[in-house]
Amino acid sequence: MGRGRAKAKQTKVARELKYSSHETDFDALQRELSSGSSSGHYEETDSDSDDQDPYDDGYDEYRR
């Protein structure tokens, strides 16, 4: 119980995203992608690769 409002809100937001005609700011997207900030988990530095476990499959963070 109690999931009705949350589901209704998710449905509303999904519908707005699907049918809205918002304009994409490609310049801002390009700045964000080329900013050089390494906040993602997919980038690896040289010091990380030296300390890695050879048996690590890279999915430990997702299993937790």
pTM value is 0.33
* Residue 42: band (very low, low, confident or very high) from pLDDT cuts 50, 70, 90: low
Q: pLDDT at residue 38 above 90?
A: no
* Residue 64: band (very low, low, confident or very high) from pLDDT cuts 50, 70, 90: low
Q: Per the structure block, which two tokens stand in for 12?
A: 């509303």
Q: How far apart are CA 61 and CA 11, in angstroms?
A: 29
* Residue 30: band (very low, low, confident or very high) from pLDDT cuts 50, 70, 90: very high
Q: Per the structure block, which two tokens stand in for 55?
A: 């048996």
Q: How far apart are CA 26 and CA 6, in angstroms?
A: 32
Q: pLDDT at residue 13 above 90?
A: yes
Residue that wins the pLDDT comparison between 17 and 41: 17
